[in-house]
Structure 1
Amino acid sequence: MSTGLLFVTAQDADFKQINRLMLHLRNWEYGQAGSWDGFRLVTTKNAYDIGKPDESRGSISVTAPPVDPDLFNGWQGGNLGDIEGFILDLAKPRNSTENQGFNSSMYILLDDKGLQDRTCILGERRFDDEAEEETNEFNKVRLPWDEASAMFGNLDIGNMDFEDYCDDSCGRDENGWYVYGKMGPDISEENARKRDEEIERLGREGMA
């Protein structure tokens, strides 16, 4: 799976909330220690400063929780339109690093609402079947933290389509929004327990 790009615009999201989110995004079910974190927390607004691929991994480095308490997040207080503009900038020719090392068509975003109800937004550039190319518009859906990683991974490898995760009765509105189809988390009870224990451990250490 390509490295995914994670953004946090929520005003009140500090390092503790970010750590909790990232532990819910961790691939507890199919990953293993050292390789089960698949997202890069983007803190810069400069699309040309995203970083170069790690030669051994073939993609940009991921952000593994816990993050630094002194983390500076340039996206805090930002909006969805800015995020999508940034994604489009990333997809432009960028010398030798063009489209290398990360998925330049998708993002996960934690906004103010998501911080309150433990949801996030998953966005993907809409593909025009007739033109056979990506558009500058995005399909978007809000879904639970613990279901976002599975959806992202399956879209990234082309195993499923965006609409497969959405409510058939609702469709796509004029702004690109879908209603999530409540697929359920792709994690066993045992691994969910391990995740919760890790969150509790970080909580005791003042990191979550």
Structure 2
Amino acid sequence: MPEFAVFITGKPPPKALNRALLLIQDFEFGEYPEDSQWTLLTSKKLPSTAPGATSLPVSDIRDNNDFSSMSLAEINDFIRANEDALSAIDISSGDWLVIDQKGFETSTCLVCEQFYNPGEESEGEGEEGLTDEFRAARLPYEEAHGMIVNLDIANMGFEEYVDEEAGVQEDGAWRWQSFSSGADDNDDMTDEDIKREKALQELRDGGHVD
């Protein structure tokens, strides 16, 4: 399975960035940091060899980030123009993550997917196949890994994660819908919660998150 690119279009201080990059990790099925699949990209000049997953903590990128203030469409244009280069360094060009300024303010991120047109035979329009278009869903940091992996392996479809009746929101993203059936009366922390909190505390102890 490839790594997934993370693009930062906001201007977060290092502590907010480290918190976000920690909370998108898989603490449910994977071992952190060994199984991390997220690669933070800050330069339009891609490396010649696979960079692997980004280790935490990271430093301040506010003055050294080519993707700062880019729109979702501009990020998509970059990916479409660099499909072969991304593939060569084992980074997906079909699914990626964006954290914008709104995301840092609301602890949410944008899972983006290259749009596959089902074609006219499946109630679509035009020819069947991958297009240069994309779709994005805004969801909590903690839900990002589960969604992007399931999209990558085609285990679940984009439509299963979003509120189709609500449609695309003002920020250009679809509204995420939770699979939870409602309020949980059990206040006990799950194994996933415990592992996540332990990793957060290690960053706090080092002064890398609040």
Shorter chain as denominator, the TM-score bin is 0.7 to 0.9
Matched residues in 2 for 1:98 and 1:108: separation?
Answer: 16
- Structure 1 gap segments, 5+ residues each: 54-59
- Alpha-carbon distance, 1:78 to partner: 2.8
Shift in Å, 1:203: 1.8
- Number of residues paired by the alignment? 193
Distance 1:50 1:117, change over 3 A: same
Percent identity reads 28
Checking the alignment, whether the CA contact within 8 Å between 2:163 and 2:175 is kept in structure 1 is yes
Structure 2 unmatched runs, 5+: 120-126, 181-188
The separation in 1 between residues aligned to 2:44 and 2:3, in whole angstroms, is 18
> Considering only CA atoms, is the larger Rg found in Structure 1 or Structure 2?
2
Which string of whole-angstrom CA distances, capped at 9 and with x for unpartnered residues, describes residues 41-79 of structure 1? 001123xx24423xxxxxx51102111357833322333
Does the CA-based 8 Å contact 2:43-2:65 persist in structure 1?
Answer: yes
Alignment of 1:73-152 (within 5 A): 73-91=65-83, 93-94=84-85, 98=87, 101-130=90-119, 131-152=127-148
Quickly say closer, same or farther: Cα 1:69–1:204, change in 2 above 3 A: farther
Q: Is 1:193 equivalent to 2:185 in the alignment?
A: no
Give the match for residue 183 of structure 2. Answer: none
Q: Secondary structure at the match of 1:127?
A: strand
Using the TM superposition, give the Cα deviation of residue 129 of structure 1 relative to its aligned residue in structure 2, in angstroms. 1.4
Q: Is the 8 A contact 1:90 1:99 kept in 2?
A: no
- Does the C-alpha gap of structure 1 residues 141 and 34 become closer, same or farther in structure 2, counting only changes over 3 Å? closer
Secondary structure at the aligned position of 1:195 is classed as helix
Q: TM-score, normalised by structure 1?
A: 0.82
Residue 20 of structure 2: aligned partner: 21
Equivalents in 2 of 1:134, 1:176: separation in Å?
20
User: 2: distance between equivalents of 1:127 and 1:207?
Assistant: 39
Task: Tell whether the 8 Å contact from 1:9 to 1:75 is kept in structure 2 after alignment.
Answer: yes
Preserved contact between residue 47 and residue 89 of structure 2 (Cα < 8 Å): no
User: Is the 8 Å Cα contact of residues 110 and 120 (structure 1) preserved in structure 2?
Assistant: yes
Alpha-carbon RMSD across the aligned residues, in angstroms, is 2.5
**How far did 1:98 drift?**
4.5
Q: Distance in 2 between matches of 1:117 and 1:33?
A: 24
- CA change 1:101–1:181 in 2 (3 A) is same
Quote the residue 1:64 is aligned against: 55
| AA at the equivalent of 2:42 | T
